């Protein structure tokens, strides 16, 4: 009975499966299996399925990463933003790190602070939330550290370690500093260039070289004005002495002129 049921019963006898397992589905499976369907073919299209890359516990450090994916997901109570980072260089290239921003939670302040730091690091305006579609493809330097993983149900820390993003840095600070949103990184890159104005500092050096020959000229110049000053002093002194002579001179002349007027010239008879 058993052999006949096993060998041919799966095809013809659905009662074994139906009676034993409470339904005819298993019997149908048996009939199908024995009926010639190709169950060697899994029959799934995996072209749209993302390949599982596994998880690697990264040492604490800073890693260049790219935002691979960002999407809004629905949590138990509130939606949250789930972001996937992939390391782009080094020994751990290709490893992924995940981060969730609970921006729509009841107390979102901490999540908003971290999300603002992320937007600043990737060169987007940190003062606005922006769009989720802006995030994929952006690169930055992520500070990653190890931390104990919490159990999803109990929310208690376990002995298992995982990686979390602890800091966000611009991947190329000179190029991304102040480059807020809609793609004007080059204008921000020009801002540090004026800071390279130590070149004007070299301008005084030729000025000093020019001042060196200019010093002998002022040295000669004081010699020239020196006699001029002496002449002006002499001129100042001469007018003052001359004025004194003019004031003192007429007094004796006025005294001498009347004496000849009283002379014999006027009294001489003709």
3-state secondary structure of 145: strand
Neighbours of 77 (CB within 10 A): 10
Average pLDDT of every residue of the chain: 69
The pLDDT-based confidence of 190 (bands split at 50, 70, 90) is very low
At 92 the pLDDT is 94
Question: Quick check: is 245 in a domain?
Answer: no
Q: What are phi and psi of 178, to 5 degrees?
A: 75, 15
Question: Quick check: is 270 in a domain?
Answer: no
At 255 the pLDDT is 43
More confident residue, 122 or 172: 122
User: Both 89 and 31 in a single domain?
Assistant: no
pLDDT digits (tens, 9 = 90+) for 42-55: 889 999 887 876 67
User: Both 25 and 106 in a single domain?
Assistant: no
User: Both 97 and 149 in a single domain?
Assistant: yes
pLDDT digits (tens, 9 = 90+) for 234-246: 344 344 443 444 4
User: Both 96 and 11 in a single domain?
Assistant: no
pLDDT digits (tens, 9 = 90+) for 134-177: 999 999 999 999 999 888 788 899 889 999 999 999 988 654 44
Consecutive H or E run containing 68: strand 61-74
C-alpha torsion angle, residues 240, 246, 247, 253 (rounded to 10): 160
User: Both 136 and 173 in a single domain?
Assistant: yes
Q: At what angle do helices 225-248 and 216-223 cross, to 10 degrees?
A: 10
Residue span of the structural domain in which 143 resides: 61-182
8 A C-beta contact, residue 118 and residue 100: no
């Amino acid at each position: 009975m058993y052999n006949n049921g096993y060998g041919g019963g799966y095809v013809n006898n659905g009662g074994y499966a139906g009676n034993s397992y409470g339904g005819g589905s298993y019997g149908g499976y048996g009939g199908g299996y024995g009926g010639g369907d190709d169950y060697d073919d899994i029959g799934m299209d995996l072209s749209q399925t993302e390949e599982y890359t596994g998880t690697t516990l990264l040492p604490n450090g800073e890693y260049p990463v790219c935002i691979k994916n960002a999407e809004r997901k629905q949590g138990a109570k509130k939606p949250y933003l789930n972001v996937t980072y992939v390391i782009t260089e080094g020994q751990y290239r290709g490893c992924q790190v995940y981060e969730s921003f609970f921006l729509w939670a009841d107390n979102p302040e901490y999540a908003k602070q971290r999300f603002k730091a992320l937007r600043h690091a990737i060169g987007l305006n940190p003062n606005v939330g922006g769009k989720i579609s802006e995030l994929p493809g952006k690169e930055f330097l992520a500070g990653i550290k190890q931390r104990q993983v919490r159990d999803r149900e109990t929310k208690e820390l376990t002995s298992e370690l995982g990686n979390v993003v602890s800091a966000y840095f611009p991947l190329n600070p000179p190029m991304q500093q102040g480059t807020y949103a809609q793609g004007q990184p080059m204008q921000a890159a020009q801002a540090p260039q004026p800071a390279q104005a130590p070149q004007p500092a070299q301008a005084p050096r030729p000025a000093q070289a020019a001042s060196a020959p200019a010093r002998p000229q002022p040295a000669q110049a004081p010699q020239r004005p020196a006699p001029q000053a002496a002449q002006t002093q002499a001129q100042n002194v001469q007018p003052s002495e001359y004025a004194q002579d003019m004031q003192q001179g007429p007094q004796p002349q006025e005294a001498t002129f009347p004496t000849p007027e009283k002379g014999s010239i006027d009294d001489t008879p003709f």
